[in-house]
A and B are shown apart, each in its own frame.
Chain A
Amino acid sequence: MELDALDRGGFLRLAGTLGAGLVFAVYLPGCGRSSTSSSSAPFAPNAWVRIAPDNTVTVVVNKSEMGQGVATGLPTIVADELDADPNLLKFEFAPADQQYIDPVYGAMITGGSTSVKDMWMPLRTAGATARAMLIAAAAQQWSLDPSACTAKNGVVYHSASNRTASYGSLTAIASGLKVPTNVPLKRPDQFTIIGQQHQRLDIPQKLNGTAEYGIDVRVPGMLYAAIARSPVFGGKVKSFDPKAAKAVAGVVDVVQVSNGVAVVAKNTWSAFQGKNALQIDWDDGPNANLTTEALFAEAEELARTHRGELVALSRGNTETAKGTVVEATYRGPFLAHTTMEPQNATADVREDRCEVWAPNQVQQRSQQEAVNVTGLPLEKCVVHTTLLGGGFGRRLESDYVREAVEVSKAVKAPVKVMWTREDDIQNEFYRPMSVNVVRGVLANGTLTSLSHQVVSQSWLKRWHPQWLKNGVDMLSMAEAVDAPYYVPNFKATFIDHEHGIPVGSWRAPDANWNGFVTESFIDELAHAAGKDPLTFRLALFEKTPRAAGVLRLAAEKAGWGKRQGAGIAQGLAVVFWGGSYAALVADVSMVNNMPKVHRVVAAVDCGTVINPRIVEQQAQSAVIYGLSAALTNKITLERGRVQQHNFYDYLSLRLADSPPIDVYVVPSKESPTGVGELCTPPIAPAVANAVFTLTGKRVRQLPFSDALRA
């Protein structure tokens, strides 16, 4: 069978339909090697790994690379069990295809800091199986028993006879072998690549302009489109006049799509200009007079009346516990993601097939958008995932894909739909606004009862309703229901505040807000009990020794309790997210009534570390992301319209204001858990707790600029 006639997606799909069978692919002609006849055959024992005669090992990555390092992390797992040469490792992104689902989610999704955790066993098995087959192939070539051979660094050895065979030289024989089952995996102490500081595989292309993001996709004959969307959520086009837009140089067409009106042009700039020139009469719909202020009042009313309140978790009795009662209400704003690359997608709709190129975190949803718009069968809709210029949860949505497919279908040409930054900030699936009421009871300085009421809009009920538990969205309750503290009387409740503003997943949903509440309130309780916030927390970590571990480590490295510089105080916070634990200590002073962060110490326990440098990068990245938002960011509405536009009124931390972040990792032999989002939730409360020490002012609302300058 000639495979070079098929596209890569076809190749991979074929590999999958053959299941455990082997693919005899004839491509890579000319990759020289001498000893066997069909020397150009790559060896592909499963959907995840392909070994070519030139010794390169390609790992198919079923997760989206958005900076978190997954295109290095997942290949590393395969490479270690395979005993591959890490310098010959390559990656390739999987097409939308059922064989590439995440086994826990049951779908292709990159989110929730789960990639390494969920793919750990399947990829180890894939690597170990391939290794066993390569050893068997060498043994067959040498007429030996496989048990006499070993493998290391991409080479099979028979030490007794001093013979070696590179993996690339064995592809043809290995391809003829039966795929074994139950191949034993390595013990952690046998890992040679996992845990090492190997370089990221995606970096070279990101230094010279060759990396391809969604915005860089170019298809022959492609047009560029910009879309005018309703300024009010839920609004509709009443009528529009395309004349002025069509008069703009370079504009070739104006078409209505479900999301608004698209201007199609010969280049991006003309599309943007045409969009600005459009005359549209909007029906603003039911949200025309919405303000965030009114929404907060509504949420507070819900909190008071308990209307629609559902219990997420309850033990003991929080009503009857006796002692000193501490109570507080916290308010969290809507937030935008502002991925560095604005949303975009490219689609090419033909009579009989549809192709999509998109920086997305949800390949199958993107594929389904194409199916829904075109009516074509699933297998005729191909989705290519490019590199993502940031994700942070925004690209768990596929609205931009639908737009591109609709416009391409309407104009019968390949089209890239490009969003401006203003489009991006104003047409979001925001981090939900939230009102949280917390109540604690202290008996002789010990916390005996804790309750946490969350009033927020569930995004999961729209996004994946099957994951609600007894009607409760447990992601809306993250860090409210599963913060690592054990308190004998405990209750966590949820009220779904339906308000018509689109909400979605934002880095560490929705621990990023509930964690602020929990960690600030625990600090309030510690102060009310007259205890040091460190010892107060440690007393509550009896059942969660790993939480105690990271907290002790961070406190020790940061010099907790010792005098820091003049005017500097420390605040700390802990988090449990993605199966991992982290603790942060922030050194803070006050400048112009705003916190200035001088240094952050982070301690992370994420089980087995695949690549320590990527863990460090992710911890730092998550801190900067959380701090950026906490200092000044909020999305507000007036007359139903988002008031923020671009980086001049939705600020992002820059280099000069970014503190150094020292990351310490707890050594562990546990299975690996998530680290991509882990350190976003605890940074704001760590800073707020230091602000309390410095000023006596408790921050119960974010951003800091609102709480402290009001």
Chain B
Amino acid sequence: MISITVNGIKRDVEVPGEMPLLWVVRDELNLTGSKFGCGVGECGCCTMHIDGVATRTCVLPVSAAAGKQIETIESLSSDNSHRVQKAWLAEQVPQCGYCQSGQIMVASALLKKNPNPSDSDIDQAMTNICRCGTYDRIRTAIHRAAQEA
């Protein structure tokens, strides 16, 4: 039995400690906003905040997340009122949308740390893959969200 705190709620899960957090959250807790894209830490679709740090959870054993604050895309807001969601809507960022939970989680962690990121800050932080190529709008939306703060 492992105890984890997801979006502020403590949950006990009956899984092996090496199961990646992504699959625990998706399959056991039925929070499916976080996606699976590669399973090897390359694409960032599975990004969650662990104690506020954007983390690729497909390679993070659930045991390593025990006792920490885990936040998923579902924690931002369900009515798209978070400033990053608002900026994403205004710039019409998503296409297929599959990568966007991860992109939004990286962007919101970036803005918390760095309220006014430069283009090169964005280049360095936003390393998630988007196969639809929404990168131009992701950049613009981050600048827009920064202005909203």
Contacts and interface: CB of A to CB of B under 8 A. Distances in A.
Given A67-B95, A341-B35, A390 B131 contact: yes
B80 A647 contact: no
Contact of A390 (B33, B38, B132, B136): B132
A207 interface: yes
A646 B40 contact: yes
Contacts of B97: 67, 202-203, 205-206, 211, 387, 389
B136 A661 contact: yes
Contacts of A339: 96, 131
A390 B135 CA distance: 15
B19 to A, nearest CB: 5
Given A341-B37, A342-B37, A660 B136 contact: yes
Interface residues of B, number: 61
Contacts of A530: none
Nearest to A266: B27
A642 B123 CA distance: 32
B98 A213 contact: yes
Interface string B29-60: 01111111111101101000000000000000
Contacts of A613: 92
Contact of B131 (A206, A210, A272, A340): A340
B16 A621 contact: no
Interface stretch (A319-327, A373-381, A648-656, A701-709): A648-656
A164 interface: no
A383 B146 CA distance: 43
Interface footprint category on A: 35 or more
Interface in B89-141: 89, 92-101, 104, 122-124, 126-139
Nearest to A422: B39
A224 interface: yes
A340 B136 contact: no
A contacts with B: majority SS: loop
Interface in B72-94: 72-74, 76-80, 85, 88-89, 92-94
B129 A215 contact: no
Interface centre among B42, B76, B126, B127 (most CB of A within 10 A): B42
B92 A655 contact: no
Contacts of B135: 624, 653-655, 658
B32 A209 contact: yes
A268 interface: yes
A68 B122 CA distance: 25
B38 A647 contact: yes
A390 B96 contact: yes
Given A68-B95, A620-B136, A208 B38 contact: no
Contact of B42 (A66, A647, A656): A647
Contacts of B129: 340, 647, 652, 654
B92 A199 contact: yes
Nearest to B119: A656
Contact of B127 (A218, A389, A648, A655): A655
B133 A625 contact: yes
Interface in B14-33: 15-16, 19-20, 23, 26-28, 30-33
B84 to A, nearest CB: 9
A269 B20 contact: yes
Given A69-B95, A268-B23, A421-B38, A658 B33 contact: no
Nearest to A613: B92
A388 interface: yes
B94 A203 contact: yes
Interface in A598-648: 613, 617, 620-625, 628, 646-648
A114 to B, nearest CB: 18
B40 A67 contact: no
B133 A658 contact: yes
Given A200-B92, A646-B38, A655 B80 contact: no
A699 to B, nearest CB: 22
Interface string A507-526: 00000000000000000000
Nearest to A392: B131
Given A421-B38, A625-B133, A208 B77 contact: yes
B123 A340 contact: no
Contacts of A283: none
A130 B32 CA distance: 38
A620 B74 CA distance: 29
A421 B40 contact: yes
Contacts of B100: 206-207
Interface centre among B30, B36, B92, B96 (most CB of A within 10 A): B96
A205 B78 CA distance: 9
B27 A267 contact: yes
B29 to A, nearest CB: 11
Nearest to A421: B38
A204 interface: yes
A216 interface: yes
B61 to A, nearest CB: 11
A208 B26 CA distance: 15
A670 B131 CA distance: 31
A267 B43 contact: no
A658 B89 contact: no
Nearest to B133: A624
A395 B30 CA distance: 26
A647 B123 contact: no
A199 B86 CA distance: 13
A18 interface: no
A420 interface: yes
A623 B23 CA distance: 33
A340 B16 contact: no
B133 A623 contact: yes
Contacts of B72: 209
A249 interface: yes
A493 interface: no
A269 B131 contact: no
A200 B100 CA distance: 15
B80 A208 contact: yes
Contacts of B99: 340, 389
Contacts of B93: 203
Nearest to B126: A655
Contacts of A205: 97
Contacts of A655: 122-123, 126-128, 130, 135, 138-139
Contacts of B88: 203, 207
A338 interface: yes
A483 to B, nearest CB: 25
Contacts of A389: 35, 96-99
Interface centre among B19, B37, B127 (most CB of A within 10 A): B37
A207 B35 contact: no
A224 B94 CA distance: 28
A681 to B, nearest CB: 15
In the A-B complex, list the 5 residue pairs whose CB atoms are closest, starting with the nearest: A209-B33, A624-B133, A389-B98, A67-B96, A206-B97
Interface of B: 15-16, 19-20, 23, 26-28, 30-40, 42-43, 45, 72-74, 76-80, 85, 88-89, 92-101, 104, 122-124, 126-139
18 contacts: A68-B95, A207-B80, A207-B88, A209-B74, A218-B30, A224-B27, A339-B96, A340-B96, A340-B130, A389-B97, A392-B131, A421-B39, A617-B134, A617-B137, A654-B129, A655-B128, A658-B135, A660-B136
Given A207-B94, A625-B133, 18 more contacts: A202-B97, A204-B89, A218-B32, A250-B16, A267-B28, A269-B20, A270-B19, A342-B37, A389-B98, A390-B96, A391-B96, A624-B133, A625-B131, A646-B42, A653-B135, A654-B129, A655-B128, A655-B139
